Amino acid sequence: MPREDLFTPIHNAMRSVIYDTGRDLQTTDFTDREATQKVCSKMEKDIKRGLSSCMLCYLSSHAEDESTKVFNVMRSYEPEMVDMLLKEHEEIEREIDQVMQISDQLKQLSDSEERILKGKELNRVANNLFGYYITHMNKEEVTILPATQKYLTDEQLAAIRTSIVRDKPPDQAAKEVGWVIRSMNINEMRDVLLGMKKTMPPPAFEGMLKLAEQNLGKEKWETFKPKLGLE
């Protein structure tokens, strides 16, 4: 039975957020105000507007979840590792703010040539953030992930995951879980769902299966389901 993994599934969701946002940014005509507004609204970190249009919110809130729910527990076992990763979270927040600033500046410009130039700058700072974020997640997967599995039991890890999901507004939690589900292959999904089946109360687990069906679509879910070994 694979160990509980607090990092890889959610990191793959964050990678999907980054890939989707990166493609949107590099294909936007920044002389088109409406198209610019649409992509720039994803660069605002205003979680109240709803996560579906706030990609930077995902990146920020995920780092915050790790800092407050995982790193604080791990500090007594691996203080230097935790400090190193927390410093990187601070750098992530700085880079997120920088992307937001450039995005705000772009929306104010009226001259087409200036908008195109600012759009290139927006792509550049966003790619800096995305590159840093992806490298950071890769690093976590070879440092803090094995450390959590070394020092904590599967029950403790599952309890941390539950508290991360439980402490979010339900709508936000469902959207984040949706990104996770849509970013997994069938083998990862089997491991995650089998782990959840062991640790979650049956009604909560049923809710998770419903979310999986909603996010994958009925047809894909029907082909996945028999291979998940959940019966």
Residues that bind Fe ion (CB under 5 A): 63, 66
Which two structure tokens, joined as six digits, stand for 5?
């993994």
Looking at the Cβ atoms of 98 and 143, the one nearer to Fe ion is 143
Looking at the Cβ atoms of 53 and 128, the one nearer to Fe ion is 128
CB of 90 to Fe ion, least distance (A): 11
CB of 204 to Fe ion, least distance (A): 26
CB of 66 to Fe ion, least distance (A): 4
CB of 64 to Fe ion, least distance (A): 9
CB of 133 to Fe ion, least distance (A): 8
CB of 48 to Fe ion, least distance (A): 23
What does the alpha-carbon distance between residue 35 and residue 88 come to, in Å, rounded to a whole number?
32
Looking at the Cβ atoms of 28 and 149, the one nearer to Fe ion is 149
Pick from 88, 91, 100, 86: nearest CA to 55: 100
The backbone region for 229, taken as left when phi is positive above 0, alpha when psi lies in -120 to 50, beta otherwise, is left
What does the alpha-carbon distance between residue 201 and residue 194 come to, in Å, rounded to a whole number?
13
Dihedral of alpha carbons 109, 39, 59, 19, sign: negative
For 7, 79, 131, 175, 191, the CA distances from 157, given in Å and listed in that order, are 11, 18, 28, 22, 14
Looking at the Cβ atoms of 59 and 126, the one nearer to Fe ion is 59
Looking at the Cβ atoms of 44 and 140, the one nearer to Fe ion is 140
Looking at the Cβ atoms of 53 and 138, the one nearer to Fe ion is 138
What does the alpha-carbon distance between residue 209 and residue 207 come to, in Å, rounded to a whole number?
5
Looking at the Cβ atoms of 63 and 216, the one nearer to Fe ion is 63
CB of 36 to Fe ion, least distance (A): 30
Give kind and range of the element (H or E) at residue 51. none
Could you give the angle at the alpha carbon of 74 between the alpha carbons of 70 and 79, nearest 5°? 130
DSSP states of 2-35 as a string? Answer: PPP-SSHHHHHHHHHHHHHHHHHHHT--TT-HHH
- Residue with nearest beta carbon to Fe ion: 66
